[in-house]
Structure 1
Amino acid sequence: MKRKFIILSQLTLLMAGLFIAGCVKLDVTPTNKFTDETYWKSEDKVNSVLNMAYRQLFSSDYLLANELLSDNVYNGYGTPNEKVISNGLADASNGRFEGNWGNCYGGIKTCHTFLANVDRVTTMDPALREKRKAEIRFIRASLYLELTTWYGDIPHFTEDINLEESKTLTRKPQAEVMAWIHKELNEVAEILPSREQYAAADNGRITSGAAVALNARAYLYENNWSKVAEYCEKLISGSSYGAYSLFNNYQELFWAKNEYNSEIILSMQYVPDLKTWGNLVDYVPMSANARLCIAGPTQGLVDSYLMKNGKKWTAADPDYADRDPRMAATIVYHGSKWVDRTGSEYNIVIHPEGTTPAGKPSDKYTGAGTAQTPTGYYYRKYADPSSSSYTGGGWESNLNLPLIRFADVLLMYAEAKNELQQMNSDVWNQTIKKLRQRVGFDDTNEALNLPTGDQGALREIIRNERRVELALEGLRIFDIRRWKTAETVLTQAQRGARFDKSSGNYDYIKLPAGNFNRNRDYLWAIPRKERLLNPGLIQNPGY
């Protein structure tokens, strides 16, 4: 059975859902069921709380919404919290600021409850108990990493707190929080099994490789290049923490039948019927039974995909032919092929003057604020064509969503080695070249071999490679923030496909620029609700 360890009873899932929904304040307390000494009597109870923590590790909502904060995607329908942030209009009451804070501290509360009580289950094998503690410690470290990445200095505590204690907390310096995260992840990496040491029934559990990879990402967010290289090498050059390699098919890497492949280091777990996610209903083509298209990939993202021969795309080239195959695997453009769940294939028609396939809803671009795409493009990544990946015939998917892939490790390593001025053909060949060979670039020097140029030129190539390889996976916003390019790319007017005829001839769709204040927006506001409870939480500048 798929993902046995994460399957819970309907009752436990309901209780978990109620707990998550109620997590707003630092002092939020799980239901008495989980703090009552009589609860901690069996391994099943331990697993129930552990599974709750897994559920709180991350969400599909934030993975998709994080793209709305970046230059990869333009939100054209409605005004979600992320659009308010992108427009520079968010204040300390913004729902995303509050939601991220509350969800992370709610998950941390679950972790502290687990660690404070698991030793009461005396019938549990001691070695297994330590492994389960290590999983919880990883989740807690990951949640603290998310918090400090968004908010900077944060309240940091490693044991449960009560209401009065929560009102006295102050913000610990980010550097101290990061030092604790690195130490935690180092320790749990030596306790957790590698991916090969887990039985099939434990597929999806946190591994030692995940701890090493997350530590590399944490160092990446600090621009600590020597440490990034050191931790990536543990996964690239050895197998002590698991053996990882690139999966041979980029598009099918994101299909349910391959979700435990050799490239996946950590993923969000989903289960048919019991736990699904349905966000794609608002991103895929209307002809694929979408509800509407709230956001679409930008022309800037499309333009970042090279030609298959390794050259940059220019206006003299065909719009979509002979491009990096990752583009077609990630983005639906005019003329794309779409395979429905019966196996039937048809052409996607987005151009305003195109002819919609018989019996299909229109995917054509019709202007701003309509149900169709606002950019002339739709999502393809994660749209598994297999009917078994969905519940009820709609877009409720049981596909696992990758959080860390081996491809990301290769990209982190390439970036670190270049910043250390240690990029050479050996490093290039085991990183960028492998990624391009995997997707089928032409066998040309320009496509596959280390390019000539200085460190700055290579930096732009590696950054672009990172953008296209990891597109729509929720990571772009963190990259442009750590590169300090957000203040530039997010304030430039975006474009969509060449479908705008308002001037008489077809031109690129003009999309409004966002607003990013470099003196404020590299950190999020401490939620207003939290500061009303605890005035000692000093606000970030500009809010």
Structure 2
Amino acid sequence: MRIRKYSTIVMGALLMAAVGCKKLDLGPSYQDTDLTFWQKPDAAEQSLNNVYAGMYSDDYYFFNESLSDNSFSSSSVNGGAAQSIAAGAYDGRTNRVAGEWAFHYGGIRNVNNLLANIDKVPELDAALKARYQAEARFIRAFHYFHLVNWYGDVPLIKNEISYEESFNIARTAKAEVISYVLAELDEITGALPLKAEYADADKGRITRGAAAALKAKVLLYDSKWNEAATVLEQIMAGTYGTYTLFPSFAGIFQPENENNSEVILNMEYVPVHRTQSMQRFFIPFSEGVLISGMAPSQSLVDDFVMTNGKGIRETGSGYNENAPFANRDPRLEATIIHDGSSFITKRGETVVIRTAPGTGDNAVDKADASKTGYYFRKYYDRTADGNNNSGLNLILLRYADVLLMYAEAKAMQGQLDEATWNSTIRPLRERAGFTDPAALNFANYAGLGNTGLTDLVRRERRTEMALESQRVFDIRRWKIAETVMNGTLYGMKVGGSHLVVDRRVFDANKHYLWPVPQADIDMNKNLLPNNTGW
């Protein structure tokens, strides 16, 4: 696999795409000039693979959890100062705030460059060209979707622009950008293959199903519940390809099951050629070696219901403070490692992880261990090398998300009935390992009313999708961040009280949108006014 570098400057931000992509060679090479590169028969493919490599960041993917109430970050580097952002101590100069903007505009610049030059590639098959263009436009839409969720109004750059032009461009209203994204996804869907139509060598490329799923997510985030439900129903009916829940919840995230029946879109990795090393920050310290930079919160642990479907604080739940992990949602053990959890090491040994004070390397009183007393198990790759460099794909869209979005869209319209339940929440719980009819039958929840059912779907989403870069966007679009991200973040119970791990601050008057990076404003005053409060 050839790994090459290609750099671009967008609005003063430099993006270096220096990584490979699973089964996708990278390019173009900076040894070529614009005039010579596009005359190569494989120029379009190389350029597109470079676009794929810059679609999203593994660092952002994982450390987004610490920008929500799901986890605590003690890393001052990874996640671009996630701890400071969670504490409300950030501005337009903060690494993550400036970096996210630069990352996505760098990706957009790469897409626009490909689309502007693809006609120069000699002897490129017309059908393949149309597919390449559709894949690139999807990734551009994906970048804009993230930009508007973080910054609101952002510059909408549809075509390649000059360096000089980039210093004069203004912000476009969020609503217009969303309309553009939806129109793009509609236009490209027909040119994209179904998942089953790709050859094995092309697994991981953008599919028709991915375009539909992203469209549904954009609509859901924009509170267009009915329109989102319509697209989601089409996905569930197989209009955009066949997707099903993988039989094992834990198995979804294991290397041997990559690109399984549930996966709609991945960030693709492959051992040696392209890897991500994030697991070293969230698995037990004895296995991760480096500082445990990200640790699950007690709030997340508490939201996993009992096997009878009741929350731990509900009457009749059966929750026992002296055995807090007994009879809990099976996804808890598949997602989180707690004091007393069984763990299989990379050496194949089964060990018991102890996190209580004084119990060893993984204990909360150890300097570099988890500060909450919990570690993440999901996405742990036992096949990673000795430095925890993993070739495990990171899932951006999966079928469970489709079912949860559909349940939410119906609940928000007051339409979450037994039929909806039986096609969404029930199969998710059955797959997870629930067997108690009290947790599976809609009749036990029908009396909750619409507000109660909406809260149930949101909790189900949190526990199903933990560590998948979803929660930070959910709490923002639901406008609950000001509640769940203000105050104390707690860890495990030690003695008679829970550990106080962090203090969070979320100002509803300013923190729902990040500021435009200060460096970009300094270069281009047309980006003003900044977002409220900044």
Q: When the two structures are superposed, what TM-score results if normalisation uses the length of structure 2?
A: 0.92
CA drift of 1:182 comes to 0.2
- What is the match of residue 517 of structure 2? 527
Is contact 1:113–1:160 with CA below 8 Å preserved after alignment? yes
Q: Are the counterparts in 1 of residues 358 and 365 from structure 2 also a CA contact under 8 Å?
A: no
Residue in 2 aligned with 1:467? 462
Q: Give yes or no for the alignment of 1:316 onto 2:320.
A: yes
- 1:4-59 Cα shifts (integer Å, max 9, x gaps): xxxx403x1xx14xx27x66626989986676122112342211111110011001
2:307–2:439 CA contact under 8 A, matched in 1 = no
Match of 2:71 among 66, 70, 73: 73
Residues 194-217 of structure 1 show CA distances to partners (whole Å, capped at 9, x for unaligned) of 101111111100001000000111
1:85-164 map, 5 Å? 85-164=85-164
* Kept after mapping to 1: 8 A contact 2:232/2:402: yes
The answer as to whether partners of 1:333 and 1:376 remain within 8 angstroms in 2 is: yes
Find the aligned partners of 1:28 and 1:261 in 2 and give their Cα distance: 31
Pair 1:382-2:379 in alignment? yes
The residue identity in structure 2 corresponding to 1:352 is P
Q: CA deviation at 1:455?
A: 0.4
2:285/2:369 contact within 8 Å kept: yes
Aligned to 1:540: 531
Q: Does residue 435 of the first structure (1) align with residue 439 of the second (2)?
A: no
| 1:498–1:508 CA contact under 8 A, matched in 2 | yes
Match 1:42 to one of 27, 40, 61: 40
Please tell me whether residue 426 in structure 1 is matched to residue 430 in structure 2: no
Is residue 251 from structure 1 mapped to residue 238 from structure 2 by the alignment? no
Say whether the 8 Å CA contact 2:62–2:468 is kept in structure 1: yes
Among 338, 347, 367, the residue aligned to 1:342: 347
1:76 deviates by: 3.3
**Aligned-residue identity in percent:** 38
Matched residues in 2 for 1:431 and 1:35: separation?
52
8 Å Cα contact 1:276-1:398 kept in structure 2: yes
Distance 1:54 1:536 in 2: 30
| Alignment partner of 1:405 out of 381, 392, 398 | 398
Q: Do the aligned partners of 1:141 and 1:181 also contact (CA within 8 Å) in 2?
A: yes
Separation of aligned partners in 1, 2:519 and 2:396: 30
Asked if 1:211 is matched to 2:204, the reply is no
Q: CA deviation at 1:120?
A: 1.2
Aligned partner of 1:281 in structure 2 is 280
> Does structure 1 retain, via aligned residues, the 8 Å contact 2:74–2:83?
no
Match of 2:507 among 517, 527, 535: 517
Amino acid paired to 1:528: Q
Shift of 1:471: 0.3
Tell me the equivalent position of 2:438.
445
The answer for unaligned runs of 5 or more in structure 1 is 1-7, 357-361, 500-504
**Paired letter, 2:53:** R
Q: Deviations over 1:343-390 (max 9, x none)?
A: 221111111254x4xxxxx111106xx2011001011111022x2xx2
Residues 73 and 298, structure 1, Cα contact 8 Å, conserved in 2: yes
Q: Give 1:352's match in structure 2, choosing from 334, 354, 357.
A: 357
Distance between the aligned counterparts of 2:246 and 2:45, measured in 1? Answer: 31
Tell whether the 8 Å contact from 1:310 to 1:448 is kept in structure 2 after alignment.
Answer: no
Change (3 A) 1:93 1:349: same
Paired residue type of 1:323: R
* Aligned-partner residue type, residue 366 of structure 1: D
Q: Deviations over 1:226-247 (max 9, x none)?
A: 111011111112x231100100
- TM-superposed deviation, 1:445: 2.6
> What amino acid is the match of 2:419?
D
Q: Which moved more, 1:279-288 or 1:257-266?
A: 279-288
- What is residue 364 of structure 2 aligned with on the other side? 365
Q: Which residue of 1 aligns with 2:472?
A: 477
Relative to structure 1, is the Cα distance of residues 31 and 99 closer, same or farther in structure 2, using a 3 angstrom cutoff?
farther
298-307 vs 24-33, greater mean Cα deviation: 24-33
What whole-Å deviation, never above 9, does each CA across 1:72-97 have from its counterpart, x for those lacking one?
00123547522221111111111111
**Residue type of the partner of 2:74?**
G
**Which residues in structure 2 correspond to 1:144-223 (within 5 Å)?**
144-223=144-223
SS in 2 for 1:396: coil
Alpha-carbon shift at residue 285 of structure 1 (Å): 0.4
Q: Deviations over 1:90-137 (max 9, x none)?
A: 111111111011111111111011001111123111001100110000
Question: What residue in structure 1 maps to residue 62 of structure 2?
Answer: 64
In 2, the alpha carbon distance for the partners of 1:40 and 1:167 equals 27
Give the structure-1-normalised TM-score.
Answer: 0.91
Which residue of structure 1 aligns with residue 21 of structure 2? Answer: none
> What SS does the corresponding residue of 1:403 show, helix, strand or coil?
strand
Q: Alpha-carbon deviation of 1:339?
A: 0.6
